[in-house]
Chains A and B, each alone.
Chain A
Amino acid sequence: MIKIENLSHTYQNRGIEALKNINLEIQKGESLVIVGSSGSGKSTLLKAINRLVEPSSGRIFINGEDILHSPLEKVYQIRGKIGMIFQNFNLIERESVAQNVLNGRLRYNTNFNTIFSRFSPEDYSVARESLSMVNLADFKKERVTDLSGGQKQRVAIARALSQNPEIILADEPVSSLDPKLMKEIMDLLTNICRKKGITLVTSLHFLDFAKRYGTSIIGMRNGEIVFNGCSADLTEKDLINIYGETEDWHLYGKTGF
């Protein structure tokens, strides 16, 4: 499904090596969780997959197509099949829930219709369906501003779902929510993906979450993959490799092991 070969990235302006020679294969329908402390390269890796970050070198194949060396039109097409969810939801706050979800259908819309916010009946029905999947069917006319954090993230999930994605990238999707909502959102997201056979790649801070929701886990540190396997394989030594020797294990949820 996703194949990453020798991927490296250096942020030019800061000279930081965010990714160092990453090799990774992600199978269809898998739920992969990336763990690691802040600055380990989790987010850069996710954003490289749909080319929101232009990596310095390496190759990324999505269904056999090299997204880094494709013409722009092809890139749009590949991105259309990859939904993305962000830590801060990244919704247009002053617009309605429906308008935000319909943005997931832009790939299927013409420029002319986009100007007048016109979408096809199919776009509307897909958007409606996505909203009911996240249990927000009755909220389509609400402004995003008026929603709670958990509801906002559900709108963002609906936006991603309305793309009819094969892959969903979730960049710390629950980091700005309270613990109860964290679980609720992760349950919702993983259940929908399992049901629809969507490949899910999530970056998370907490180990117990990674263990609960990931069919496989990779651990990153300083731009390198230092662990790649399933949660049962994760040993004390691996944890030290990922997070370093730390007094603050409780912050990462090691208690769950």
Chain B
Amino acid sequence: MAKLVFKSRYRKLLIGLAIIVIYYWSISGTDTNPINFIEGIPFMIDFVSRMFPPDVSNLGKFLLKALETLQMAIIGSTLGALIALPLSFLAARNVTSNRFIYHVVRGVFDTCRGINEIVWGLIFVSMVGLGPFPGVLALAAHVTGALGRYFSEAIETVDPEIIKAIVSTGANKFQVIVRGIFPQVKPLFINYAFYYLENNFRAATVLGLVGAGGIGMELITSMRLFRNQEVLTILIIMVLGVAAIDRFSAYVRKKIIRIERLE
């Protein structure tokens, strides 16, 4: 007994020490310094004060650009979901018995997801030029990886007994996937896709920073020209836009999940 208590104390001490080391290492590596922060506050106030009042002379143009961002998010998410959907079955162990295909598709998903939207944006801007289209491709690439992984994990959790029932009717493998597996994961898929629409609107606002269209591109332009009052207008539009999309998406997802829980 005494030995056990000692052991657990010893362990707690070790874990505590490890946490302290990790934080010290991270803080010293990043020059995180509260004094610097406090000394910087007047500069921040100065910067923010120069933003007031917000300049709304280009409001119409900015709103159009915000809609472009929404369009990018819609097309990017849809494209990503459509690519991820068939591939995700190949990356589900209960559907694909071929280990090679399984690992290759998983690898594709990991790569797509592992590369940030901004980096994808840089790649596609160099491929198809500036504008919203490379932004759409960047979002689609990242979403393919993310949704592909979630979709395939959802497929792996379906009820095998229901699959057996469809198999027993003499259905072929394709029909079993379409009529036995897909109906079981459909609400989850829609839920994830809407979550990524929400996510993509947020990601799309920053994609403009690398020249991939939308409201982010206006932001970076105004910042470079020191039009601080315009910057504020754009930031307000971004925040309101993100909040609106988040609310809408959350509402839709809640409805879907509620249906799912009833079952």
Interface residues of chain A, those whose CB is within 8 Å of chain B, are 47, 50, 52, 76-84, 86, 88, 90-95, 103-104, 106-107, 109, 111, 114-115, 145, 156, 159, 163, 169
Contacts of B170 in A (CB 8 A): 76-82, 106-107, 163
The answer to whether B179 and A103 touch across the interface, beta carbons within 8 angstroms, is: yes
User: Closest approach, in angstroms, between the C-beta of B173 and any C-beta of chain A?
Assistant: 9
Q: Report the separation of the CA atoms of residues A115 and B165 in the bound assembly, to the nearest whole angstrom.
A: 18
The answer to whether A114 and B167 touch across the interface, beta carbons within 8 angstroms, is: no
The answer to whether A106 and B187 touch across the interface, beta carbons within 8 angstroms, is: no
Chain A residue at minimal CB-CB distance from B262: A145
Instruction: List 27 A-B pairs, Cβ < 8 Å.
Output: A50-B168, A76-B170, A76-B172, A77-B170, A79-B167, A79-B170, A80-B169, A83-B168, A83-B169, A84-B168, A86-B161, A88-B161, A92-B162, A92-B184, A94-B260, A103-B165, A103-B166, A103-B169, A106-B169, A106-B179, A107-B169, A109-B175, A111-B174, A114-B179, A145-B262, A159-B169, A163-B170
The answer to whether A115 and B178 touch across the interface, beta carbons within 8 angstroms, is: yes
Chain B residues numbered 159-200 whose CB sits less than 8 Å from any CB in chain A: 159, 161-162, 164-172, 174-175, 178-180, 183-184, 186-187
The answer to whether A106 and B263 touch across the interface, beta carbons within 8 angstroms, is: no
The answer to whether B263 and A91 touch across the interface, beta carbons within 8 angstroms, is: no
User: Closest approach, in angstroms, between the C-beta of A168 and any C-beta of chain B?
Assistant: 11
Q: Report the separation of the CA atoms of residues A114 and B259 in the bound assembly, to the nearest whole angstrom.
A: 24
Contacts of A169 in B (CB 8 A): 168
Interface residues of chain B, those whose CB is within 8 Å of chain A, are 159, 161-162, 164-172, 174-175, 178-180, 183-184, 186-187, 259-260, 262-263
Interface contacts (Cβ under 8 Å), in number, total 82
Q: Report the separation of the CA atoms of residues A76 and B167 in the bound assembly, to the nearest whole angstrom.
A: 8
Contacts of B167 in A (CB 8 A): 52, 79
The answer to whether B175 and A106 touch across the interface, beta carbons within 8 angstroms, is: yes
Contacts of B171 in A (CB 8 A): 76, 103, 106-107
The answer to whether A106 and B166 touch across the interface, beta carbons within 8 angstroms, is: yes
The answer to whether B175 and A111 touch across the interface, beta carbons within 8 angstroms, is: yes
The answer to whether B187 and A94 touch across the interface, beta carbons within 8 angstroms, is: yes
Contacts of A93 in B (CB 8 A): 263
Which of A77, A81, A86, A111 touches B165 (beta carbons < 8 Å)? A86
Pairs A-B, 8 closest by C-beta atoms = A80-B170, A90-B165, A79-B170, A107-B170, A106-B171, A84-B168, A76-B170, A92-B183
User: Closest approach, in angstroms, between the C-beta of A51 and any C-beta of chain B?
Assistant: 9
Q: Report the separation of the CA atoms of residues A156 and B172 in the bound assembly, to the nearest whole angstrom.
A: 19
The answer to whether B178 and A163 touch across the interface, beta carbons within 8 angstroms, is: no
Contacts of A94 in B (CB 8 A): 183, 186-187, 259-260, 263
Which of B162, B165, B172, B178 touches A84 (beta carbons < 8 Å)? B165
Q: Report the separation of the CA atoms of residues A169 and B178 in the bound assembly, to the nearest whole angstrom.
A: 24
User: Closest approach, in angstroms, between the C-beta of A92 and any C-beta of chain B?
Assistant: 5
For the complex with contacts A90-B161, A106-B169, A109-B175, 18 further pairs of A-B residues with Cβ separation under 8 Å are A52-B164, A52-B168, A77-B170, A79-B169, A82-B168, A84-B169, A86-B164, A92-B184, A93-B263, A94-B186, A94-B260, A95-B183, A103-B171, A103-B179, A106-B170, A111-B172, A114-B175, A159-B169
